[in-house]
């Protein structure tokens, strides 16, 4: 049934939330060893190369694919950037979308009046593992120094206290938002990195839908991303996002997509973004992983 994901290990973490919420640690003891195995197996996906890359781990989506998935609003937000702006792609894989932004097709599809040439934004690709191909340095060599940058070797959670810098546009297409074990910290860091009036476009696969009723796609009784409220009822991600201060949220379930995809457009309206806390209670490694969180409100 679940041919798109590699299900490596199911873990109920109520007793040990502090362990799974931290960066990988390697402790002794039978339970710890199970936890460590799950984390290592998820890490193996990031480390995989060549034939060992799981089929479902797509790292080379084009900018056209980003636009098709995220919306025309994303396309217009990217088109509106100029040389003083910055774009961050969180979970960028090979960074293909950024490379395409600097390619001739983007210019042909977004012509300026009077054949003026576009002054493009600086763009930063962020990935745990370095997935760059030869096309990255080849493109960088044609651009001004610092126009594109590739950050790897760390997770988003390791860029705290403003170390990422500030961005006018942030994208995340099946990147850290889909893979993180700490959605709250992800949102805090991403929104702190977003300038006021900036836009963040992201998505989730098979999350509990915000509008129409739909059965889970991969499992019979649980969605890939679940949020459980204190009263035991399920919350959808869209409602959770709408509780963040200084953010306008537009959620859109893609019609007819299999597996189902819901997109999220966050527009930052003012500076202080407070994110409601979530605690991870269950984790199934995969591409992307299955996660269950508990909310406090
Ligand atoms: C399935 S690939 C998607 C790549 C690209 N967005 C695409 O669509 O082709 C997942 C990417 O998310 C990155 N990623 C996952 N968790 C992350 C985290 N916590 N912090 C930073 N990057 C993360 C991985 O390193 C990888 O680059």
| DSSP characters over the chain | ---SS----EEE-TT-HHHHTSSP----SHHHHHHHHHHHHHHHHHH--GGGS-TT------HHHHHHHH-HHHHHHHHT--TT-EEEEES-TT-HHHHHHTSHHHHHHSPPGGGPPP-PPEEEEE-SS----THHHHHHTTS-TTSEEEE-SS-GGG--TTTT--EEEEEESSSHHHH-S-HHHHHHHHHHTEEEEEEEEEEEESBPPSSS----SSSSS--SEEEE-TTS-EE-HHHHHHTSTTEEEEEEEPTT-SS-EEEEEEEE-SS--PPPPEEEEEEE-SSSPEEEEEE--
Domain spans, the chain? 10-295
Q: What tens digit of pLDDT does each residue of 159-171 get?
A: 999 999 999 999 9
Report the range of poorest mean pLDDT among 136-140, 261-265, 281-285, 291-295.
Answer: 281-285
Report the range of poorest mean pLDDT among 44-48, 198-202, 219-223.
Answer: 219-223
Indicate which residue's Cα is closest to atom 15 of ligand 1.
Answer: 176
> What is the per-residue pLDDT for 191?
98
Give the pocket of ligand 1 (CB within 6 Å): 46, 57-61, 91-93, 126-129, 131, 155-156, 173-176, 179-180
Report the range of poorest mean pLDDT among 62-66, 90-94, 212-216.
Answer: 212-216
Q: What is each CA distance from 209 to 39, 67, 123, 287, in whole angstroms?
A: 28, 21, 32, 20
Mutate to test the pocket of ligand 1, among 100, 123, 127 (most ligand atoms within 8 A of CB): 127
Structure tokens at 220: 């019979």
Does the structure show a pLDDT above 70 at 27? Answer: no
Does the structure show a pLDDT above 50 at 8? Answer: no
> What is the per-residue pLDDT for 20?
32
Average pLDDT over residues 17-37: 44
- CA–centroid distance, 270 to ligand 1, in Å, is 28
Q: What tens digit of pLDDT does each residue of 73-107 get?
A: 999 999 999 999 999 999 999 999 999 999 999 99
Report the range of poorest mean pLDDT among 37-41, 194-198, 239-243, 271-275.
Answer: 37-41
Cα 9 from chain centroid?
Answer: 22
Pick the CATH number of 10-295 from 3.40.50.150, 1.10.3230.20, 3.40.50.1100, 3.30.1490.20: 3.40.50.150
- Who's near 214: CB < 8 A, 6+ residues apart? 253, 260
> What is the per-residue pLDDT for 165?
97
Sole residue written with tokens 């994208």: 171
Q: Which of 165, 295, 163 is nearest to 235 (CA)?
A: 295
- CA–centroid distance, 186 to ligand 1, in Å, is 13
Is the whole-model pTM more than 0.85?
yes
Mutate to test the pocket of ligand 1, among 176, 186, 203, 280 (most ligand atoms within 8 A of CB): 176
Average pLDDT over residues 175-191: 96
Rounded to 5 degrees, φ, ψ at 276 are -65, 135
> What is the per-residue pLDDT for 213?
82
User: Between these two residues, 26 and 136, which has the higher pLDDT value?
Assistant: 136
Does the structure show a pLDDT above 60 at 9? Answer: no
Are the C-beta atoms of residues 84 and 120 closer than 8 Å to each other? Answer: no
- CA–centroid distance, 129 to ligand 1, in Å, is 8
Report the range of poorest mean pLDDT among 81-95, 142-156, 215-229.
Answer: 215-229
User: Between these two residues, 283 and 23, which has the higher pLDDT value?
Assistant: 283
Average pLDDT over residues 246-275: 96
Within 13 Å of residue 135, how many CA atoms lie on the same side as its CB? 12
For the chain, what percent of residues have pLDDT higher than 90? 75
Cα 242 from chain centroid?
Answer: 18
> What is the per-residue pLDDT for 33?
59
At 36, the pLDDT band (50, 70, 90 cuts) reads: low
- The atom of ligand 1 lying closest to the CA of 180 is 19
């Amino acid at each position: 049934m679940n041919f798109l994901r590699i299900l490596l290990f199911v873990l109920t973490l109520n007793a040990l939330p502090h362990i799974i919420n931290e960066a990988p640690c390697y402790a002794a003891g039978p339970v710890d060893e199970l936890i460590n195995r799950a984390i290592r197996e998820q890490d193996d996906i990031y480390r995989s190369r060549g034939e060992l890359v799981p089929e479902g781990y797509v790292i080379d989506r084009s900018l056209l694919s980003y636009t098709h998935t995220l919306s025309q609003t994303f396309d217009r937000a990217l088109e509106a950037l100029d040389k003083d702006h910055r774009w961050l792609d969180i979970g960028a894989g090979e960074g293909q979308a950024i490379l395409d932004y600097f390619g001739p097709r983007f210019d042909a599809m977004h012509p300026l009046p009077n054949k003026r040439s576009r002054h493009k934004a600086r763009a930063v690709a962020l990935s745990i593992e370095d997935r760059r191909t030869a096309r990255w340095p080849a493109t960088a060599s044609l651009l001004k120094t610092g126009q594109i940058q590739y950050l790897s070797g760390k997770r988003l959670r390791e860029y705290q206290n403003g170390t990422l810098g500030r961005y006018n546009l942030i994208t995340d297409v099946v990147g850290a938002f889909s893979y993180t074990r700490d959605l709250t910290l992800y949102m805090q860091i991403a929104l702190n990195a977003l300038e006021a009036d900036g836009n963040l476009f992201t998505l989730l696969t098979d999350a509990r839908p915000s509008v129409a009723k739909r059965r889970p796609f991969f499992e019979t009784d649980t969605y890939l991303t679940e949020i459980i409220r204190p009263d035991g009822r399920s919350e959808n991600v869209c409602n959770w996002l709408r509780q963040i201060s200084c953010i306008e949220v537009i959620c859109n379930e893609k019609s007819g997509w299999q597996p189902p995809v819901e997109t999220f457009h966050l527009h930052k309206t003012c500076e202080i973004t407070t994110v409601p806390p979530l605690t991870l209670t269950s984790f199934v490694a995969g591409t992307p992983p299955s996660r269950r969180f508990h909310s406090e409100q």
